Amino acid sequence: MTQTYLEEFKNPERILMGAGPSSVHPRVLQAMTKPVIGHLDPDFFQVMDEVGQMLRTVFHTTNFMTAPLSSTGTGAMEAACFNILEDGDKVIICRNGYFGDRLADIARRGGAETIILDAPWGKPVDLNALENELKKHQDVKMVGVVHAETSTGVLTPLTEIIELVHSHNSLILVDAVTSLGGHDFRMDEWDIDVAYSASQKCLGSPPGLAPITIGPRAEEVIKTRPSEVQSFYFNLKDLETYWSQTRAYHHTSPISMTYALRESLRMMMEEGLENRINRHSKVASALRAGVSAIGLDILSEEEYRLNPLTPVVVPDGIDEADVRRQLLQDYKIEVSGALGELRGKVWRVGLMGESARETNVFAFLSAMESILSKSGYEVAFGASLAAAQRALITFDE
Ligand SMILES: *Cc1c(COP(=O)(O)O)cnc(C)c1O
């Protein structure tokens, strides 16, 4: 075996169009090369405060407890569940995909009596079904829902669900990992109690930080719970003392990652949130038009489609993994395969954050035309590109 580790890692050229991570802008990478300072340095506190301020803007909240956790999105799922739920508490998890399933798994591991409300993959959870569950089970402490199901490309409308959940005196937890920065998301206006995201999807940073925000009801629950939180690392009450004026050491902050998040949030502020969400919507409409012009179906129903992720149904006779392999090898484009029951049946094409660019849509569509044509699928060359161009023009009208 050659000792390749003695050589510098040669970064392959990649266009990241999968379910995350998304491409990272050079400005953000550059920010990570700044010298490391201490996590108790007053200058680092300023960086933390600025990140907190910008996160509040992105979440549309005034919640004090708004900060990036030192983990990817899954860590935030654990933090949210473990800090709110105690042994024997009842929780309803809406499961319309892989991440709803993960959320239910985590809630159950946390000791909660976990009631699962299933919806077909490709659709949002049904409001009446949720109402029935809330009537059937008394004292449900929290209801968990995934805003943007990255496994199926479904955006679940939140406002009616939240109203329903609060009318039963339960808390609402929202997984905003793929929606934050890519779709409209309003923590305070929609009256959400707990929400979290991840740095590597629509926020434009590398993976490694998971912003979380805690509303007043949930904060009260966290601060008055009689039992200890199982997790030392994700104990939000203790973490708050580090993020607040007290600045007590809890664990060493990932300094360079925080620099990166600061820079990517700063770029969001420069672009403007509305412009950014509009950009995600525009490029997604071009991608969908192009994919349809190739004759491929989109798994999610039209009125619930996610912009940052499009699930493209693999046509009969085409090898899903082989197409992905060719995209990566010959075109340097990464798209994702599907998870769970959709494995082998769907390509998940992401347009998140810095990856949500028109040029990426055209690169992907032309590559797909060539690959599918070589695989014996009938393709009218250029048709998908023309459809995408038309979609971009009509979007602006
Ligand atoms: C990616 C994702 C997660 C998990 O995040 P990791 O950063 O992979 O830990 C959770 N929920 C949703 C909806 C996601 O898309």
- What is the separation of C-alpha 200 from the centre of its chain, rounded to a whole number of angstroms? 8
Cβ of residue 18 lying under 6 Å from some atom of ligand 1? no
Domain ranges of the chain: 32-269, 272-396
> Look-up: residue for tokens 């009969």?
316
CA separation (Å) from 173 to 49, 79, 212? 24, 11, 11
Helices (H) and strands (E) in the chain, counts: 13, 13
Rounded to 5 degrees, what are φ and ψ at 208?
A: 145, -15
pLDDT tens, position by position, 97-140: 999 999 999 999 999 999 999 998 889 999 999 999 999 999 99
Q: Given this model, what pLDDT does residue 2 score?
A: 72
Specify whether the CB–CB gap between 298 and 313 falls below 8 A. Answer: yes
Taking the CA atoms of residue 157, residue 161, residue 162 and residue 167 in that order, the dihedral angle to the nearest 10 degrees is: 160
Which pTM value belongs to this model?
A: 0.97
- Under 8 Å between Cβ of 147 and 179: yes
pLDDT of residue 1: 63
**Residue numbers of the chain with a pLDDT score lower than 70:** 1
What single-letter amino acid sits at 49?
D
Fold of the domain spanning 272-396:
Aspartate Aminotransferase, domain 1 (3.90.1150)
Dmax (CA) for the chain in angstroms is 65
Q: Measure 98 CA to ligand 1 centroid, in angstroms.
A: 10
Nearest CA to ligand 1 atom 14: 177
- Distance from the alpha carbon of residue 102 to the mean position of ligand 1, in angstroms: 9
The CATH class of the 32-269 domain is: alpha beta
Between CA 389 and CA 313 the distance in angstroms is 22
In this prediction, residue 27 carries a pLDDT of 98
Q: How far is the CA of 364 from the centre of ligand 1 (A)?
A: 23
CB-CB neighbours of 228 under 10 Å:
9
In order, the DSSP letters of 56-125 are HHHHT---S-EEEESS-HHHHHHHHHHHH--TT-EEEEEESSHHHHHHHHHHHHTT-EEEEEE--TTSPP
Q: Does the C-beta of 91 come closer than 6 Å to ligand 1?
A: no
- The predicted pLDDT at position 245 comes to 82
Is 242 in a helix, a strand, or coil?
helix
211: number of CA atoms within 13 Å, CB side? Answer: 36
Kindly write down the DSSP assignment for every residue of 245-292, as one continuous string: TT----S---HHHHHHHHHHHHHHHHH-HHHHHHHHHHHHHHHHHHHH
Residue-level pLDDT at 4: 87
Alpha helices in the chain (DSSP H): 26-32, 42-59, 73-84, 98-109, 127-136, 159-167, 216-224, 236-243, 255-271, 273-294, 320-331, 358-374, 383-396
Q: Cβ(388)–Cβ(359) under 8 Å?
A: no
pLDDT on residue 342: 92
Let me know: does 300 contact 121? Beta carbons within 8 Å. no
Structure tokens at 375: 């695989």
Ligand 1 lined by 74 (C-beta under 6 Å): yes
- Percent of the chain at pLDDT > 90 equals 95
| CA distances to 41, 242, 364, 393, 395 from 281, in Å | 40, 37, 17, 13, 9
Ligand 1 near 73 CB (within 6 A): yes
Instruction: Dig out the tokens for 174 from the structure.
Output: 């929202």
